[in-house]
Amino acid sequence: MYLRHFSLREAPFSITPDTDFFYPHEGAQASLNMLLVALRSGEGFLKVVGELGCGKTVLCRQLLKTLQGEFVTAYIPNPDMGPDDLLLALASELGVAVSQSPHRHEIMNGIGACLLDHARAHRRVVVCIDEAQAIPVRTVESLRLLSNLETEKRKLLQIVLLGQPDLDDKLARPEIRQLLQRITFSEFLGPMDQRRVPVYLQHRLATAAIDDAMDARIFSPEAAAIIAAASGGVPRLVNVLAHKCLMLAYGEDKMTVSADHARLAVRDTEGVPQVAPWWRRWSWPGARRRQALRSAKETAL
């Protein structure tokens, strides 16, 4: 709709995970660095927990992209399946041939033989399991069995779990504590610092621009600040608000997103706090109470 108007070749604020738009803010870069260092060191089980909309899936895909040519990689995006189905999904990702209705023993033997072949060729194998909080408790045992596949020197398979905070609650259950004990490194992926949001907006616009020389400062500083405050730095919410802002500016044939556009986008979006203009904030009950408290303290002194 607005691509030609802003000289863009693709939508800059799609919520579909795309590594071309990966922005390495502090939390994302720290998580990626931890994963790369730990995997290259041969650690068996790794975990990244992140809040909803904070970029776990794009981090996972960026990790797999970075490891291309260095690791044999497998990706399981939806692990909400039974124990045998999870093993079959991994076998399919690794190209392991199994019979039509295989028993678990056959699947494990096929995966083990495949991993040994990769080990003999000095190839390391990693499987990334996204949305890991959805793994049924009865399926966790399959992960533990996979972690047992090793030689005298190293693990045959390294496993990365990425999930929402519910994953920590699941791993804390007494019946699966053996798996928790095998996780050697973990990282928390939270929202980006709100001060990074203006640069994040420019980064995505520049990535989507037709011309490298395009001015990516489409969002006014006031509009970017409103988006940052309303989104709390959650990338998915930033994208939703920014997309709506571009639509509003396009509808008015404007080349710059204003603070009014940002406020309209916030009002139109569920799940984000409403940001009032600064001159109205002192009318909020909480602000009045804080001011009254400060005045009382000054009087007492």
Domains in the chain and their CATH numbers? 24-189 (3.40.50.300), 194-292 (no CATH)
Distance (Å) of CA 286 to CA 16, 93, 96, 282, 299: 38, 54, 61, 9, 20
pLDDT category at 143 given cuts 50, 70, 90 is confident
- For residue 276, the model assigns a pLDDT of 52
Pairing of strands 124-129, 45-50: unpaired
Q: How many CB atoms are closer than 10 A to CB 259? A: 18
φ/ψ (deg, to 5) at 72: -85, 125
CA 30 centroid distance within chain: 12
Q: What is the pTM of this model?
A: 0.85
Arithmetic mean of pLDDT, 32-40 = 96
Higher pLDDT, 216 or 263: 263
CB 120 within 8 A of CB 68: no
Q: How many CB atoms are closer than 10 A to CB 269? A: 15
Asked if the model's pLDDT at residue 297 lies above 60, the reply is no
The set of residues, in sequence order, having a beta carbon less than 8 Å from that of 4 and lying 6+ positions away, is none
pLDDT in tens, 52-92: 999 999 999 999 999 999 999 999 999 999 999 999 999 99
Strand partners, 185: 46
- For residue 212, the model assigns a pLDDT of 76
- Percentage of the chain beyond pLDDT 90 is 70
pLDDT category at 182 given cuts 50, 70, 90 is confident
- Residue with structure tokens 């909803």? 52
Among the residue ranges 51-60, 172-181, 248-257, 279-288, the one predicted with the least confidence is 279-288
